[in-house]
Structure 1
Amino acid sequence: MLAYQKILIALDVFAVYQPVLERGLQLANKDAEVSLIHATLPHVYFEPYGAAFETDFVDNINKQSREKLQQIAKDHGIPAERAYSLLGYASDEIQKQAEKIHADVIVIGTHGRSGLKLLLGSTANAVLHGVKQDVLAVKI
C-alpha cells in the first residue's frame, strides 16, 4: 500500500483538536504535503431567539481561527499557504478544499458520543458521504 502524499487535516481550533492533528501527522511521511483546514460558519444563531449575527462578530471569529490555525501550522512545520481558514459550512468547505488540493485522505475528528446517530457527528458524517478520498475519523 502506498503512503498518503496529500493529507488534509480538518481541525476545530476552538475545541480539542490535538488528537486529530497528531493522528494526521502520523500518516505523513517525509515527502507528504500536510494541509490544515478550519471553517467558520458564515452566521451565528443565538437561541431561543433565532437571531442571526453576521459581519463583525463572524469576522472576528474568523480572524481568531485564522491566527490560531497559522500558529498550529507554524508549530508543526506546515507552510502557512497550506493552512486554510475558510468561511462557510465545515463539511462543504472540507469537501471543496480536498478536491482543490487533490488530497488523498481527510483526517477529521468525531464527537465520540454513544449511539448510532452520534457515532460520527454531523460534520464528519457529511464529509464521509460526500468525498472520493479516504476519510480517517479520529475519536476525540
Structure 2
Amino acid sequence: MAVYSKILLAVDLSEESDQLIEKTRTIAQNNHAELTVLHVIEPLSFAYGGDVPMDLTTVQDQLDEHARIKLSAFAEKLNYPVESQQVITGHTESEIHRMAEDKECDLIIVGSHGRHGLALLLGSTANSVLHGAPCDVLAVRVYEPET
C-alpha cells in the first residue's frame, strides 16, 4: 500500500532546487505516486506594491515563458514520469495550497533554507506552506552553493 499516491513538488527553480530531485524521485518511486511539479511566479505588481505606472504584461509573459522552459528542464532531471508541470502566477503559498487541493495531493515537497533570526521571524515559504496545507508537507533542507 502506498503512503502517498499524489505528490506535489513546488520549486523556485533556483540552483538549490536540484537538491530536491533525488528525495522526490525516491519517494515517488517507492509509492508509485503521480507527480506534479509546480513553480509559482509572484506577479510583478506584488514586487512593486501594485502601483506601477506602466503595463508589465509583456515582461510578465517573458517571465512565464522562461519559467516554463526552466521547469521543463528541471522535470527531465527528475528521471521520473511527471503527470503535470504547472507555472502559475500568484501568491506562492496560496497557489501551492490551491494546486494541492485541485490535484488531491497527499504530500507537498518544498525546499527549505532553514533560516534563522530575522528571516525566520519574517517567515519562509516552507513554513507558510506547512500552515494551511491540506496534506502532509516535507520541507527538504537545501543549502546555498558555496562560492
TM-score (norm 2): 0.79
Q: Say if 1:72 and 1:33 are closer, same or farther in 2 by CA, change over 3 A.
A: same
Q: Does 1:22 align with 2:15?
A: no
Choose the corresponding residue for 1:92, options 72, 91, 94: 94
Alignment of 1:96-135 (within 5 A): 96-115=98-117, 118=120, 121-135=123-137
Give the partner amino acid of 1:93.
E
Q: Deviation of residue 42 (structure 1)?
A: 1.4
Identity, % of aligned pairs?
A: 36
Please name the residue that 2:65 is paired with. Answer: 63
Bigger strand fraction = 1
Which ranges in structure 1 are unaligned for 5 or more consecutive residues? none
Give the partner amino acid of 2:24.
G
Which ranges in structure 2 are unaligned for 5 or more consecutive residues? 143-147
Give the partner amino acid of 2:120.
L
Runs of 4+ in 1 over 6 A off after TM superposition: none
Please name the residue that 1:82 is paired with. Answer: 84
Structure 2 contact 97–134 (Cα < 8 Å) conserved: no
**RMSD, matched Cα:** 2.7
Bigger helix fraction = 2
Structure 1 contact 43–52 (Cα < 8 Å) conserved: no
How many angstroms apart in 2 are the aligned matches of 1:133 and 1:46? 32
Secondary structure of the residue aligned to 1:13 is: coil
Please name the residue that 2:33 is paired with. Answer: 32
Paired residue total: 137
Q: Say if 1:139 and 1:120 are closer, same or farther in 2 by CA, change over 3 A.
A: farther
Q: Say if 1:111 and 1:52 are closer, same or farther in 2 by CA, change over 3 A.
A: farther
